[in-house]
Amino acid sequence: EMEEYNEPPQDLIDYILSDECKGIAVLSGAGISVSAGIPDFRSPGGMYDTLRPELLTATTEQQQLMEVDPTAVVECGMFFSNQFPYLEVRKPFIIGTAEEKWKATPSHWFLRLLHDKQKLLRLYTQNIDGLDLQVGIPNEKIINVHGTIGSISCENCGVEYPRDDFMNKLKSNIKDIYGIDETAPKESKNILCLKCEQPTVKPSTVLYGSSLPSNFFTCVEEDFPDNVDLLLVIGTSLTVYPAAGLVDRVSPTCRRVLVNRDNVVSPFGSLGVFGKQKIEQNRNYFLKGNCDEVIEKLVNALGWKEDFNNLLPK
Residues with a catalytic annotation lie at 146
Amino acid at 169: K
Distance CA 16, CA 230 (A): 8
Q: Which helix (H) or strand (E) holds 121?
A: strand 120-125
Amino acid at 112: R
Are 188 and 174 in contact by the 8 Å Cβ rule? The answer is yes
Are 104 and 97 in contact by the 8 Å Cβ rule? The answer is no
Angle at 286 between CA 6 and CA 301, to 5 degrees: 50
Amino acid at 98: A
Q: Is the N-terminal amide bond of 9 cis, ω within 30° of 0?
A: no
Distance CA 291, CA 261 (A): 8
Are 178 and 217 in contact by the 8 Å Cβ rule? The answer is no
